[in-house]
């Protein structure tokens, strides 16, 4: 039983760490692909790449941050909540 609790805790922490990053990366990649399709010249693409590197290096930009979380995170959060409730009920019922 201790192994199950430990496994559930590790899975929960891993999801808390990895899920927001995956959602944000997916949104960012979609925006980058639409930006690259609109540019025609290689020089402008090189300038955009260097500008993106500058933005990620810690400099402030005037653009808004890409959306992350929101409705896309509701299903995994609900699944974790229900799963943890079922696990808690099963543990308490055995005592």
pLDDT for 37: 55
- Give domain status of residue 46, yes or no: no
Residue 49, in any domain of the structure: no
Q: How confident is the model at residue 2 (pLDDT cuts 50, 70, 90)?
A: confident
Domain span at 90: 1-23+71-95
Total of domains in the chain? 1
Residue 76, pLDDT > 70, answer yes
pLDDT for residue 65 is more than 70: no
Q: Left (φ > 0), alpha (ψ -120 to 50) or beta: where does 77 sit?
A: alpha
In a domain? residue 77: yes
Q: Is residue 19 part of a domain?
A: yes
- Residue 62 is assigned to a structural domain of this protein: no
pTM metric for this prediction:
0.33
Would you say the C-alpha torsion 80, 86, 90, 95 has a positive or negative sign?
positive
Percent of the chain topping pLDDT 70: 51
Residue 39 lies in a domain: no
The answer to whether residues 66 and 27 touch, using CB atoms and an 8 Å cutoff, is yes
Q: What is the rounded end-to-end Cα distance, in angstroms, of the chain?
A: 12
């Amino acid at each position: 039983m201790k192994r199950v609790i430990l496994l559930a805790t590790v899975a929960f922490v891993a999801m808390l760490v990895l899920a927001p990053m995956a959602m944000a990366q997916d949104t960012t990649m979609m925006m980058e692909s639409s930006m690259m399709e609109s540019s025609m010249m290689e020089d402008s693409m090189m300038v955009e790449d260097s500008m993106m590197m500058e933005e990620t290096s810690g400099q402030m930009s005037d653009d808004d941050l890409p959306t992350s979380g929101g409705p896309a995170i509701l299903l995994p959060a609900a699944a974790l909540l229900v799963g943890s409730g079922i696990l808690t009920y099963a543990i308490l019922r055995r005592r």
